[in-house]
Structure 1
Amino acid sequence: MPLSPAGPFALRRRLISALLPVALLTLPLSAPAQPEPAPPADALPVAEIQAFAEVFERIKRAYVEEVDDATLLRNAMRGMLSELDPHSTFLDAEAYRSLQESTQGEFGGVGIEVGKRDGQLTVITPIDDTPASRAGLQARDVILRIDDTPTEGLSLQEAVDLMRGEPGTEIGLTLMRQGETAPRRVTIEREIIRTQSVKQEILAPGFGYLRVSQFQTRTGEQVVEALDALRGEDGPLKGLVLDLRNNPGGVLQAAVDVADAFLDDGLIVYTEGRLADSAMRFSAGEATAAPEVPLVVLINGGSASAAEIVAGALQDQRRGVVMGTESFGKGSVQQIMPLGDDEALKLTTARYFTPGGRSIQAQGIAPDVEVVRGRLEIAEGNGLRVREADLEGHLAGDGEEEASGETSPRLRDDYQLGEALNLLKALDVLGRRNAAETQDEEEGDAGGA
C-alpha cells in the first residue's frame, strides 16, 4: 500500500527526533545576535543526520519493493562498519553464534579462514584436517565465486554465511592462485569442523614438533600438555619446532599463554588504541613449561594475528629462531560488543605491538631465516646408490645403534620443516661442543697437589 502524504514526513520527524537528542542540546539558546559557540567535538552532525533521515524516507517510499525498518537500519549499520576496515562488522544472531562456535573449536563449514585483501575475498589459511585443506586450498588464494555468486561486493560476513551450511552439502569455489593464468574451480563437501588446535610428535630422536593450528580458549593449556607428552615420549628434548604456519590467529589470551610457555620474563605484547581500556600490556610469568629447549618457530603468509604475536614475542625476546616466509600482517585488535537480541558489534579498537615496539599491522613478521616452501627430491640416479649401512645384516658400526631411530613421515614432503630440524641439530652440536670446551678449560685450570 502506498504511504499517505503525511506518512513520510511523520517518519522523517520520528527519525530526526530519535537521532538528534545530543545534537539538539548543542544548539544556541540565546538570541541570534550573540555569536554562536563552537559545537562540542563529539556533537552529532545535524545536517548529515537529516540527510540520512531523508534517504531512509525515500527508500521506504519509492524503492521497487517494500523494505521494513529493521532491515534498513541493520543494513545501515553494516554499511557504516564495512567502510572502516575489513575486520569490523555487524554480527547478527547467526554470525554471532558462528563466531562463538569458532573460538570454542566447533562449527559447520569447509574449514578456511578468509579476509578481504585489496578488496578481494582471500584465503588467510585452510584449517588443518578439514575439507578445505584436503581440497588443496592455500593461503592467498582469491575466491572469485561461491557456487554461482560472485564475491565482488559481498561483505566478509556475507561470504562466510554462504560458505557455511549443513554437513554433507557441497559448495563450489572458484579460485585464482598467484602465478596461475586461469581460475580453478573446486567442489568441497561441508563437514562439522571440530578443530584440535594443538598436535605434537617426535620428528627424530630428541627433537619434538608442536603444531598450533589456531588459538582457541584452551590452546595455552593444550600446549603445556603437549610439551609434557613430548618429554615423556623421548626424555629431555634437544630441540623443538613450533609450527605456526597457516595459523589464522584467534583468542588473544591464548596467544599470550602460548608465548608464556616458552618465556619466564619480559613483555609478550602490548596494544594501543584511542580508549584508555584499549591500552594493555601482557608479560610472561616466572613459571614456564619449556624454559631452555632450543626453539625454531615456523611461519608463512598464512600466519596471522595471534600467531604473529607469538612469533614476534619469541623473536624480540631472542627465545627462538623464526624461520619460513613473511607472515600475513594482521596486527589489529577486534573487540566483541554484545548489542542484545543475540547480536553484536565486532569493532577494531587497537593495534598490536611486539615487545620491541614493532607494529604487526600491514607489516607482518619477517623471519630470521627465510626458507621458501619446496619439496626435497632425489636427483636422477642418486636413488641407485647403495651404502654398506643399507645392506641387510651388515655389521653395526660404532655408535650406530645410538644414532639410529625413526624420523617422522612428515619430513618427507615438508622442506621448511626439514630445514628447521637441521638447524636444531646444528644448534645441538654447537651446544655440546661449547659445553665440552668449557669443561676442558675448567679441568685445565685445576691445580694438582
Structure 2
Amino acid sequence: MFGALLLSVFLAVPVFADDSSELADDASELGSEDMLAEAATLPLEELRLFAEVFERIKTAYVEPVDDAELLEDAIRGMISGLDPHSAYLEPDAYQDLQEYTSGEFGGLGLEVGLQDGFIRVIAPIDDTPAQRGGVKAGDLIVKLDDTPVQGLSLNEAVALMRGKPNEPIVLTIVREGIEKPFEIKLLRDRIKVASVKHRVLESGYGYLRVSQFQVNTGTELAKAIGSLQNSGPLRGLVLDLRNNPGGVLQAAVEVSDAFIDEGLIVYTEGRLANSELRFNASAATVAPKVPMVVLINAGSASASEIVAGALQDHKRGLVLGTDSFGKGSVQTILPLTAERAVKLTTARYFTPSGRSIQAQGIVPDIRVEEAEVRNLDNGGRVKESDLSGHLENGTGAARTATGANAKLVEQDFQLFEALNLLKALVILQPPLKQG
C-alpha cells in the first residue's frame, strides 16, 4: 500500500507522486474500533434507499444491468460528488497517473477540469499540441469532434481526447471575448514535458520557467540555476509559474527551498493526523540572493501557488501578473487494488503566514494583465547628436542601448514588465560595502 500527495488540478492525465505512504495507510487501514464506531452511526434509512434503488434498476431498467458495473457507477458517482478534484481511478486512469510523473504521457497536453458541464482549460502545457494550436487557459471545450461534452464525466471526456500519435481531433471552443464558438484542430502526440527551462534574458538577468511540478523538478531547477550562473554573474531572476497547473507537493517544497534560507514553506491541515504536515526551508539554497520577480496568472494553480505564496510571504520576491487559480487542497492517492485507486481530497494547504488560497488565489503584488503591445513610430525625430556641428560628449562615452529587450514587449508583455521591474530593484539596491 502506498500513497501520494497531489497538488494539481484535474488533468488530462493526472499527476501522481509517491511521497506520503503513511497518510494513505492511515486513510485506508482504519483500526477496527474506528470502523465499528463508524458502523454504529451509518445512516440506515439512506442505505435502505440505496438498496431499493439498486433493486429497482435491476428489475425495471429497459436493459439488463451487470451488478459489478452498477456498483462501480455508484462508487464513481459517490466520489465525484465530493469536490472537483476527487476521483475514482479505474485501470487506464491509474496507469496514466503513474506514467505522468516521468514527464511523458499521451494526449493533447491540456490541464482541464469541469465547469457547468463543460471542460474548462486550466492551462495548456508548454510545447504540446494544445499549446501550439492556440488553446488558452480559461477556454471552455463544448465538443470533441462531433461529441458534445455536456453530460460526460471528466474521465469520459479525457478518454475521447486520448489516442494514438498523429490522430486528429477537433475541439470546439468557447472563449471569453469571442462571440461565437470556434474550432481548433489538433494532432494527438506522445508528450514529453521538461518541467524546467531557462535562458538569459539580458546580460545578468536570468529566466527560469517551471511548467509543472514533477518528481525531479527540484533537481532540474538546481541544474538550471547552475547553468545560468555559469553564463555570468546574475543580478536578477524571473521565475515564471504562469499556466503551471501544479503537481507534486515535495517538488513545490524543493523549488521554494532553493530560494528561501529558513522558516516555514507550507503546511497542511486535514482530518487525519498524518495529513497535518509542515515543511520548512533547509538552509540549502542553491539560488543566488539576487532580486526576484515571480510571474503568475489564472493558469497558475496549486503547487505553483505554494511557491508563489511562500516567496511572497518571505519577501523573497515580488509577485507580478494576475490572480492565480485558487486551488488550495491536497489530494491523496489511496490504492484499492493493483489496478484501481481513489484520488481523495484529504487536506487544505496554507502559506507560511497562514493564508488559505482555496477559491481565493494568490493576489500579485503588482498587477499586470496579459496584453498585446506595439511600438509607436517616433517619426524619425532629430536628436542633438544629429545636428551638424554638435558638441562632443566630452567624456568619450559611447551611446549605449537602455531598457529591456525591444522585441520582448511585443512577444510577452508581462515578462517585459518583470524584466523592467528587476532592473529597477537592482538599481535601488544599496551599494556593496568595500572591505
Cα distance change on mapping 1:263 and 1:77 into 2, 3 Å? same
Structure 2 counterpart SS, 1:107: strand
- TM-score where L is the length of structure 1: 0.83
Q: Which runs of 5+ in 1 are unaligned?
A: 1-21, 27-38, 443-449
d(CA) in 1 for partners of 2:218, 2:269: 24
Deviation at 1:149, TM superposition (A): 1.8
Q: How far off its partner does 1:291 sit?
A: 4.6
Distance 1:382 1:313, change over 3 A: same
Distance 1:200 1:55 in 2: 57
Secondary structure of 1:382's aligned partner: coil
When residues 146 and 293 of structure 1 are mapped into structure 2, their CA distance, relative to the original with a 3 A threshold, is: same
* Matched residue SS, 1:140: coil
Whether the aligned pair in 1 keeps the contact of 2:109 and 2:124 (CA below 8 Å) is yes
Of the two structures, which has the highest relative contact order with CA contacts closer than 8 Å and spacing of 6 or more? 2
Evaluate the alpha carbon distance shift between residue 241 and residue 112 of structure 1 in structure 2; reply closer, same or farther with a 3 A threshold: same
Give 1:187's aligned residue: 185
How has the CA–CA distance of structure 1 residues 308 and 106 changed in structure 2, closer, same or farther, with 3 Å as cutoff?
Answer: same
Deviation per CA, 1:329-381, whole angstroms, max 9, x where unpaired? 011100001110411100001111111111111000000000000123111x3
| 1:268 corresponding residue in structure 2 | 265
Q: Distance in 2 between matches of 1:389 and 1:412?
A: 28
SS in 2 for 1:304: coil
On the 8 A contact 2:404/2:419 being kept in 1, the answer is no
Partner of 2:6: none
Q: What one-letter code is carried by the residue in structure 1 that aligns with 2:160?
A: L
Query: CA deviation digits over 1:51-106, x for unaligned, max 9?
Result: 21222222222222222122111110110011111111100000111112222211
Moved more, 354-363 or 148-157: 148-157
Contact 2:267 2:278 in 1 (8 A): yes
Once residues 308 and 315 of structure 1 are traced to their aligned partners in structure 2, the CA distance between those partners, rounded to angstroms, is 10
Out of 304, 325, 328, the residue aligned to residue 325 of structure 2 is 328
**Aligned residue among 100, 109, 133 for 1:111:** 109
Larger Rg: 1
Q: Kindly state the Cα deviation for residue 384 of structure 1 after the two structures are TM-superposed.
A: 4.6
Q: Which residue of 2 aligns with 1:6?
A: none
Aligned to 2:93: 95
Structure 1's 104 and 42: CA in aligned 2 closer, same or farther, altered over 3 A? Answer: farther
1:271-286 to structure 2, matched below 5 A, reads: 271-286=268-283
In structure 1, the residue matched to 2:210 is 212
Which residue number in structure 1 is paired with residue 62 of structure 2? 64
Structure 2, unmatched stretches of 5+, are: 1-31, 387-391
- 1:131 aligns to what? 129
Distance 1:90 1:345 in 2: 5
Residues 328 and 383 from structure 1, CA distance in 2 versus in 1: closer, same or farther, beyond 3 angstroms?
A: farther
RMSD of aligned C-alpha atoms?
Answer: 2.6
Superposition deviation, residue 412 in structure 1: 4.0
Whether 2:431 is the aligned partner of 1:435: answer yes
Per the alignment, residue 228 of structure 2 pairs with: 230
Deviations 1:155-181 (A, max 9, x none): 222221111111111111111111221
Structure 2 CA distance for aligned equivalents of residues 139 and 175 of structure 1: 11
Q: CA deviation at 1:290?
A: 1.2
* Cα distance change on mapping 1:60 and 1:290 into 2, 3 Å: same
- Counterpart of 1:64 in 2: which secondary structure? coil
Aligned partner of residue 427 in structure 1, secondary structure: helix
Rounded Cα–Cα distance in structure 2 between residues aligned with 1:411 and 1:124: 25
Shift of 1:116: 2.0
Cα 1:386–1:161 shift into 2, 3 Å:
farther
More helix by share: 1
Against the structure 1 CA distance between its residues 340 and 418, is the aligned structure 2 distance closer, same or farther, given a 3 Å change threshold? same
Q: Distance in 2 between matches of 1:304 and 1:371?
A: 18
* Secondary structure, counterpart of 1:348 in structure 2: strand
Alignment of 1:26-425 (within 5 A): 43-233=41-231, 235-379=232-376, 381-382=377-378, 384=380, 398=396, 400=398, 412-425=410-423
* 2:166 aligned counterpart, secondary structure: coil
SS in 2 for 1:375: coil
* Bigger Cα displacement from structure 2, 351-360 vs 49-58: 49-58
Residues 99-128 of structure 1 show CA distances to partners (whole Å, capped at 9, x for unaligned) of 122222111111010012355320000000
Letter in 2 for 1:305: S
> Residues 126 and 383 from structure 1, CA distance in 2 versus in 1: closer, same or farther, beyond 3 angstroms?
farther
